[in-house]
Amino acid sequence: MIATIPFLESRFKAFNHACFADSLAPVPLRLSRAVRSLGACTYKKRRLLFGKVEYYDFCIRISTQYDLPESELEDILLHEMIHYEILSKQQQDSSAHGRLFRARMKAINEQFGRHIAITHRGALQRTSAATQKPVWRVVARVRLHDGRIGIKVLPRIAQRLKAYRSGLLHSREVAVVEFFWSDDPYFARFPKSSALNLFFPADPDFDQNLATARPIDL
Ligand SMILES: [Zn+2]
């Protein structure tokens, strides 16, 4: 089956009750067109006083690019729910799938006969022949002080990215410039260049399109 919002919502509720003692707050559940990953738990991170970090603004996204057995789709949702549990309880794991993650995964697998895995790559490989080879692009998301968000696709050259960012930040209108790696075909519509310009498409749903993007730290 292919993930749907009603499916994700009903399973989230059932698993929250059965496996997480109803301890998880409701979270936005979305569908994505990600090709390289089946699920993602996205969040924002802010620094508090004394070097503490807070995670907030969570979202679980499940790809609709794969037709999987229902139980495998459930295991993928459970995988993301474990990430959500750890992050929303402000716990620090030893790595992305570190000690805390593995302990929860093992406990749920044993207690409920699930098959949650660290990666569900097997499913990706089984279906990869049916999907196009993804094209990775460097995408800049630019936040202006007036609240508008612009998009720019850039060449994969660190120096050009730095020059683009510092060039834009010279403008008083620009608040934040962030870079991402994205394989979302949505970004194919933008010309790739390092010119100091910006696009404001009519359907600005970049959060959806950047769901599986990886932030680039320069
Ligand atoms: Zn994971």
Compute the distance from residue 98 Cα to the ligand 1 centre, in Å.
10
Domain boundaries, the chain: 5-128, 137-216
pTM of the model: 0.59
Compute the distance from residue 84 Cα to the ligand 1 centre, in Å.
10
Q: Which residues, in sequence order, are bridge partners of residue 44?
A: 56
Compute the distance from residue 43 Cα to the ligand 1 centre, in Å.
13
- Give tens-digit pLDDT for 108-125: 999 999 999 998 776 666
Q: Are 80 and 60 in contact (CB under 8 A)?
A: yes
What dihedral do alpha carbons 6, 11, 204, 163 form, nearest 10°? -160
Compute the distance from residue 136 Cα to the ligand 1 centre, in Å.
20
Residue ranges of the chain whose pLDDT lies below 70: 122-133, 202-205
Compute the distance from residue 78 Cα to the ligand 1 centre, in Å.
10
Per-residue confidence (pLDDT) for residue 31, from 0 to 100: 94
Compute the distance from residue 202 Cα to the ligand 1 centre, in Å.
33
Per-residue confidence (pLDDT) for residue 203, from 0 to 100: 66
Closest CA to 126 of 78, 88, 166, 72: 72
Q: Domain 5-128, what fold? A: Zincin-like (3.30.2010)
Compute the distance from residue 187 Cα to the ligand 1 centre, in Å.
25
Per-residue confidence (pLDDT) for residue 122, from 0 to 100: 66
